[in-house]
Structure 1
């Protein structure tokens, strides 16, 4: 049985479950859970796997791990999906919209989770082929991708990728058409950190700012000057982008407050520059606020490095994409400034992340992390077929060798 035949076989299983998978995704979408709180989601995944006779283990308090295939493999492949939702309000008006106020699957993790569940069903149905080929598959339903530090650290701490040769993930891309998967060798995402600057000082009446340490003004200088100064102290090829998302200071118009803070994200394209950014941030914050006499506290929380796709990983993902979607389905993609904690799983390891197109061709373009995100649900089956095919394609692509025949 050649690679195309194996892909066709697992795809047929996904097709037989397609309606069920859409219903499963809608249930997750209606009942989103934020990072580290994915209790119901974890239970739903485990119950469906166990009903299919697939042994599953809880990753930690939340999350699920499944091992399929050979017990003494020559190749172990990891497949990862994230299961958490975002702390924002959905505005889609869909009949299965989130019924949990302030929480929504606005990043497509419900699609990733359902696609990996579909792959589990397909691979379980063809587990004999995996065993004959000496391939083991570890499916990781990972919690808390949207937090810093993220759930990938739990995967690492438990050693769940220590014996994995290559690991794959998919991420919804609502700016890419259904039937396309974005591929790129090398960095495909950016490093992403949280940055908070808290200022304290003597407040007072706004009529006499010279008798205070005008904290609000100093905070404004941090907001405006720190990103600019940072761009002059770093090589522009580092691709640094510091953007503020929240400002909190005072509450009335005629009082200069005694404390305030600004918080945001720092994203960087270059991993080596990112690793040494902490001391420079501290130096620049102190320099910006020095004329105003305020005290500054920098809280810099390193988040994730860039995801770096390896050649072997992209060779396998490209082969699957072409087999499932044709040559037009495999499209080049750019490195984004978004962060993704899958980066920790592929650090010093073979692997790849692909961008799964979810935009209805000719339809509106949405974006991630927005309450109006709508995904073409046909992407669920494409994602499931892709995940299920990757273990076979990874074996075929290893060292450029042909897929061993099944006898």
Structure 2
């Protein structure tokens, strides 16, 4: 059987089941769950997969995986994240969140629906043509807890979900792109995102006698103004490194120098090498800035995630899948300073993440993580067909060529 029939079949199946698929998304949006708490979401996923005749495996806490297709063929994976955010919804949608203070404000309900529909659609494909008609085996990963620092990707990897997987793919809903457009990028498409907390301590004193104190407010001012500038002189400007503070707390009155000041911010970079040396470099620069003030300085550095480094071969394959579906849909995605724990998978195996256009073309383009964000549901079908097209790319002679180049 010609492998191109996979995307043709899935496109037809999506058209026939459009209302049911949309219903899945609306159910997930109506019943969001926070990171590490996606119990009902996991049960919903398992129910739909089992109802399609598949045999999913529950992950140790929440989330699941399911394998589809011939076990004697190379294994590829598709990942969808399933958690929501601590945001109070303000969209006015008829299927708005029924859980106060919790909302799918980052499109994870879209991502989950795409990979869930892909799994069910592939099950129907196998019932029609047999599993040997698939050029590869497929593993779908329903990952919990993408939105928190102790993210779910590392738990999924530790549970063995990448065992035997040769490459992995994902999409992220992008309200800055029109529905139907797909943004791709080789190399870093997101940034590393680490939390930086700096605690300054001193003996305090009266503002009329700053020479008798370690003036922590002055020390904090030096850090805020000098640290970003020094970083810019120590790092290649092409690394996309950004240090910014979001909170500064200390003192309570106009004429007293405080005994403690705290600064809280983020360190972001698009280069893995810079990410790995970030804490050491910041500590070195901070010590040089603070030393003349005689303040005591403590750096609390919390590693987040590395940048998502899209593999060039996997990205080229994804681009071919986009062109095969719609030659006018391909866009170059900008590098984002946001963090995304899909990067942990790419520390182990090659893969790529694409931006899935989700703007309906009307009004202002919304932004992620906002209480009023509304994503265009039509992007779900685009995402399903894209992933089916990726599977098509592994058919025929290109399969061996790709796998050998992805794994030297």
User: What's the TM-score once normalised by structure 2's chain length?
Assistant: 0.90
Change (3 A) 1:95 1:132: closer
Q: Per-residue deviation at 1:134?
A: 5.2
Q: Deviations over 1:148-187 (max 9, x none)?
A: 2321111221222131011100001110010111122232
Q: Deviations over 1:290-327 (max 9, x none)?
A: 23322221122222222222233223322322233x11
Change (3 A) 1:382 1:256: same
Equivalent position SS for 1:218: helix
**1:184 match:** 185
Change (3 A) 1:32 1:294: farther
Change (3 A) 1:43 1:203: farther
How many matched pairs?
Answer: 399
**2:25 match:** 25
Distance 1:341 1:59 in 2: 17
CA contact (8 A) 2:81 2:143 kept: yes
Is it true that 1:291 corresponds to 2:292 in the alignment?
yes
**2:104 match:** 105
Change (3 A) 1:312 1:131: farther
Distance 1:103 1:258 in 2: 38
CA contact (8 A) 1:56 1:66 kept: yes
**1:366 match:** 366
Residues 172-321 of structure 1 correspond to what in structure 2 (within 5 A)?
A: 172-206=173-207, 208-252=209-253, 255-321=256-322
**1:118 match:** 117
For structure 2, the residue ranges without an aligned partner over 5 or more in a row are: 403-408
**2:34 match:** 34
Equivalent position SS for 1:37: coil
User: What's the TM-score once normalised by structure 1's chain length?
Assistant: 0.90
Distance 2:134 2:94 in 1: 44
User: Mean Cα displacement is larger for which, 210-219 or 142-151?
Assistant: 210-219
**1:375 match:** 375
Distance 1:105 1:207 in 2: 52
**1:78 match:** 77
Change (3 A) 1:248 1:130: farther
Change (3 A) 1:89 1:293: farther
**1:404 match:** none
Distance 2:122 2:225 in 1: 53
Change (3 A) 1:253 1:240: same
Change (3 A) 1:80 1:217: same
Distance 1:209 1:64 in 2: 59
**1:340 match:** 340
Q: Per-residue deviation at 1:116?
A: 0.9
